[in-house]
């Protein structure tokens, strides 16, 4: 697990990116324009997770407000997993990599980031074909997805 803290200015950057994404999604009817505080914090955490991975590998971060689920978050990845990465972030330090059915993509590698911004940790990665081999299951809260434990992820190499 790699510690990946964000500076105050980086936090402002990811918060602004999250705001732009929310506004753009609302403009096309994909979400609410004024989400509650918990939803806003979730969007910021997701943007922060993507940012720390991109910063770590010195690659392009897709922070544009037209970014929607199903496309990669970080581009041009090294170490052979895939050309691009889809970053998943959870506040739970022991959290699992969650792939929801609508996000199935065999052409990306999935990266798990855990923690609460500004203190984040890059846990590991799993390529799309292996990740999608995991069965769809339903959590106790009723969420359908592929719940991949941290122990099954490859150690983050870059």
For 25, the token pair is 């999604």
Cα dihedral: 36, 38, 43, 49 (round 10):
170
CA 142 to chain centre: 21
The Cα 107–Cα 71 span in angstroms is 10
Cβ distance 77 to 57 under 8 Å? yes
pLDDT digits (tens, 9 = 90+) for 31-42: 665 667 888 888
Q: What is the pLDDT of residues 103-137, one digit of tens each?
A: 778 888 899 999 999 999 999 999 888 999 999 99
Rounded Cα distance, 44 and 18, in Å: 5
Confidence of residue 98 (pLDDT cuts 50, 70, 90): very high
């Amino acid at each position: 697990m790699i510690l990946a803290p964000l500076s105050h200015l980086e936090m402002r950057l990811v918060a602004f990116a999250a705001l732009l994404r929310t506004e753009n999604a609302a403009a096309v009817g994909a979400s609410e324009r004024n989400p509650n505080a918990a939803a806003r914090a979730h969007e910021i955490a997701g943007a922060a997770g993507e940012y720390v991975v991109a910063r770590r590998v010195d690659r392009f971060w897709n922070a544009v407000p037209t970014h929607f689920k199903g496309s990669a978050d970080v581009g041009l990845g090294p170490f052979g997993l895939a050309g691009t990465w889809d970053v998943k972030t959870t506040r739970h330090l022991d959290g699992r990599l969650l792939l929801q059915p609508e996000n199935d993509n065999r052409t990306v590698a999935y990266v798990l980031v855990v923690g609460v911004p500004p203190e984040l940790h890059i846990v590991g990665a799993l390529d799309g074909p292996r990740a999608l081999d995991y069965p769809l299951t339903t959590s106790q809260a009723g969420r359908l997805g592929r719940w991949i434990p941290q122990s099954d992820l490859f150690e983050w190499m870059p």
